Structure 1
């Protein structure tokens, strides 16, 4: 059996930063720290951090007075931020910097007097946070059909921003529909679209052309992992989203000589290796990786978690 790994796959810089924030906070404060919502959408990551002392909550009312509180990588609304301030909670913000950039861009467009259109999925934590970060007129759309239904005159100044777990390919049709409908439309450069989302989707398209079966390692509630599975299926290859090796079904492998594996941006590499090991227990495997983009992006940690440089004095 041949196994081909996508490149890149797994953790992106925003996820690495978010997980590092929780781990360093646990080391620094030596007490339970509270994380609003799953830090990233992956059960293994959450369980590992819980074992180290992290407590995950959906409402700040569950956080004891004075407890260190971390906002997840998806970001939160201004209402949540204000509640933390009102309760005097010491906060560490693990919001992905690319998500924060969307918040900033959205506020800038609204300040210019434009109606803002957010391209994204209703109910996703990132979208909920973004809607709660931008005052003024904001409309959420997830399809070309939704663009046609927008209650905005065609000559109204309009701007758009996008959910970061959507790629250039995901948003292209909607953006073209916006351009066709509105005479005064502005939006971020395509270079501002999340690099990790685009890179993983491009890699999975290439991988799907070379394999008989495609496995996407990721959580069922992970937007970017689900999209990778959809793309694999769109390429005409059997494609399954699995949270871990335990979900692997041997009947999927019948007749498959070459198996492709990728992982969503919130899935750790350890899960990929466990899937490879599980396949290896079924018979000999040969593992290789496609050539692809090597990501070297990194984001700074909050100042409160960065150790001051050691004194140079001897």
Structure 2
């Protein structure tokens, strides 16, 4: 019984491991024949290029390894902020599709339809070239010192944000928020209608009933699909190169161009995003188990 259960899986795992080892061996042999070989010694060499925005201290004299770490940090920051904002926007839009207010409901459906059907790359180019670079050079202060806007950048709560970072953040938030809204709407629809009637019979308003009664029951249906959207957002962040933001992909691309170490560069790039996706999946899996345990 044990062999029937685990035997085929062990055979498959062994076959995959053997295939991977064969491919790795052939790659190493072919690289050696061409005089290249796998080498990571170039990581300690000076990068020699500047980065438009960085949250860690960086100068062109720093090593390639540090430049890649700075790019990875930039990716982490924009992804983390976009995840929070897209979740809030998606939850609001998804809940608004069940609003009794006709205008609010139509606005929510219109936003989802527009943002989901326009490619993310086009949205990023719009936010970069039209929305942000189209701002006047003289700073605008719609919220006083809390927020100033210009085509040179944005200052939010005293924190300077580049135009590239802002365009990428808004684009990822708007695009992913529309797909999260559909996930939330689907999760809400899985809750029996009797729950709506129950909270209304208690005199609760629709916003209160949604947040305290319906959404907690919809979470088990929402979280698995939400994990996929979070991972998609992380992968979509590589489009930052289109607006000139120095994320991990952009820094890797520049590094590969300068060093000619394409295989090593792409291997590290794949490892970086694999680690990021595993962190997101692990965190969401833990959250899903906590929700199920509380139920």
- Do they superpose with TM above 0.5? no
| Larger RCO (CA within 8 A; separation ≥ 6) | 1
Structure whose residues are more often helix by fraction? 2
TM-score (normalised: structure 2): 0.26
Larger Rg: 2
TM-score (normalised: structure 1): 0.25
